[in-house]
Amino acid sequence: MTVPPTAAEAAWHTAPRGPLSTAVTTALLGHDRPPPELCAQAADIATDPWGDDLHLALYLLYELHYRGLPGVADDREWDPDLLRLRAALEQRFVTALEEALPRDRSVAEAFAPLLTEPADGAGGISAHLADAGTPERLREYAVLRSPYHLKEADPHAWAIPRLTGRAKAAFVAVEYDEFGAGHPEAVHARLFADLMVDLGLDPAYNHYLGHVPAPALATVNLMSLFGLHRAWRGALVGHFACVETTSSPGSKRMVKALTSCGAGPAAVRFYAEHVTADAVHEQVVRHEVVGGLLEEEPHLEPQVAFGCDATSLLEDRLAAHVLDAWGRGASALRAPLPDGPA
């Protein structure tokens, strides 16, 4: 079934960023097959594994497994030609991650740096916003995070059928909270949409995709990559544990930033919710989910550590991009936002 897009929904296909994303967009809109040579190009060493072209193309292909793309038939999700191209893009991304990260680390080694707040109070983007945030930068940060937070917890949910016993029970308990504990108004994705409205932003799903640069898209693509492949189930658990471990301190800094800038209660609520909830979730995920998984599949320990390390690497790359742009007085987005409300 194809759902006709509205003008706003059609924004996803208006700005390809190179030959890969152009080919993907053309194939999705016109039911064409992506040129076979693009699979070789995606895997070629000359293709930037961190660049806008690869990560927009990969993001669009992954969206077929979430809510789909307006104007694209649902059955394109399993189009073999699109899957072949996606596999080539994924391999280029994974190869870059493997080249950038240590291998065969223990879980303890990977998580040790995350368990203590830096003595100097450094904390990347959230620390900068807590100390020197402005309404404009808070709005930019919300846009950067919107591709994930408007689908929050969805990528991790793919782990559920791949876990068993103690790990599965604990994982589902955490996800239950993420999905509002039975209350639709408390679903975390809904809370983030309310935050966007509070900041004068459009909360429509993927509305700002054209504004979001590769370093932010890569953080979402990593979750989708791990989630869609059973072979990466250990890395997905490592990613989940890393997110929950770092969320509470960062959320506390964001509450300070939003309060200092006079943001409304809906904006503050999103991060305030994560301060308390994720402090509990961290313990459950690290001890019960990770512990339960490794009790049943101890050979996955290096992969769990890799998932944590990959998450930290991409968050550091995003922070470097954002703080460099703001340090130059520039926008961290591909295009500046219109002026928001006072």
The alpha carbons of the chain give a radius of gyration, in whole angstroms, of: 19
Q: Is the dihedral of CA 335, 336, 337, 338 positive or negative?
A: negative
- Find the mean pLDDT for residues 214-225: 98
In the chain, where the domains are located: 9-100, 107-327
Alpha-carbon 186 to chain mean position: 20
Q: Which two tokens stand for residue 168?
A: 């599965």
pLDDT in tens, 232-279: 999 999 999 999 988 888 999 999 999 999 999 999 999 998 887 656
Give me the pLDDT at residue 278, please: 58
pLDDT at 110 over 90: yes
CATH architecture of the region 107-327: Up-down Bundle (1.20)
**Exposure b/e, 193-232, CB count within 10 A at least 16 = b:** bbbbebbbbebebbbbbbbbbbbbbbbbbbbbbbbbbeeb
C-alpha–C-alpha distance, residues 296 and 249, integer Å? 31
Give me the pLDDT at residue 69, please: 92
Q: DSSP string covering 295-308, please?
A: HH-GGGHHHHHHHH
Give me the pLDDT at residue 42, please: 62
Q: Spell out where the chain has E strands.
A: none
Tell me if residue 112 falls in helix, strand or coil: helix
Q: DSSP string covering 195-247, please?
A: HHHHTT---STTTTGGG--HHHHHHHHHHHHHHH-GGGHHHHHHHHHHHHHHH
pTM above 0.85, yes or no: yes
pLDDT at 40 over 90: no
